[in-house]
Every structure is written in structure tokens, then in C-alpha cells.
Amino acid sequence: MHEYSIVASLIDRVQQEATAYEGARVHRLYVKIGELAGVEIDLLKTAFDTFRERTICDEAELTINTVAPIWACPSCERSVERGSILRCDSCGRPAKMTQGDEIILERIEMEAPDV
Ligand SMILES: [Zn+2]
């Protein structure tokens, strides 16, 4: 399942970050997901709950922030309304999505033991 591979790579990233801090405990992950990223948020949460066991994210919570899609003209940078024809109304070029399809690990909340 798509969501499982996303979770796997998120946890990989966290693992990499956390290796710098011996014995670090991860409390929370903040993930930004575009509404058009093709991710089922509920499935992602389920995948995370299943997958985190016996990883560094064992006790971590997952916070997901969704991002509404925005389109803009690639040449004159005018924004193009959602729902309308996705084409710039001043120069006629097809609009490009500037946000709304991302999957980003924004922040990791963790606690490192005192050195
Ligand atoms: Zn334009």
C-alpha cells in the first residue's frame, strides 16, 4: 500500500535525524500533506500506528496538516482559482500547481538525554 511506503520513509528520516542524539525519544512528528498528494489521511494514520512499533517512533504521535492546492501561471505568476479552468486568464498558459501535492516531514519533536 502506498501509505505504508510513505510511513516507512518518514520513519527512516526520523531515524536518521535521531542517530545524532544517543538515546533520543521521539514524541511527535509533524507532517504536511497536500490534499492532492494522493494520500488517504486515515490510511496513513493506521499505517503509522502499525509501523511505528519497534522503531524509534514507538511512542510518537503523528500530527498531519493538510495543504489546500494552489495553482499559478508559470510565466506571469498570476494565481489561478481552484475549480475554474486551470489556465492563466491573462496569458493563456496552463497553470501549474504550486502547492497541494507535497508530503513533507516538517518537524520532529524529540527529547534527548542530557549529555
Ligand atoms: Zn500568465
Q: Which is it for the CA torsion 47, 51, 57, 61, positive or negative?
A: positive
For the chain, list residues with pLDDT below 70. 1, 84, 115
In CATH, 2-111 is 3.20.20.120 = no
pLDDT in tens, 12-31: 999 999 988 888 999 999 99
C-alpha angle with apex 99: 95 to 105, nearest 5 degrees?
Answer: 155
Rounded Cα gap, residues 105 and 74, in angstroms: 26
For the chain, the residue count is: 115
Ligand 1 centre to CA of 73 (Å) is 5
Ligand 1 centre to CA of 34 (Å) is 23
**Domain boundary assignment for the chain:** 2-111
Ligand 1 centre to CA of 97 (Å) is 13
- Give the pLDDT confidence score for residue 1 in this predicted structure: 59
CA distances from residue 83 to 22, 51, 62, 73, 79 in whole angstroms, order as listed: 49, 37, 31, 15, 12
- Give the pLDDT confidence score for residue 98 in this predicted structure: 94
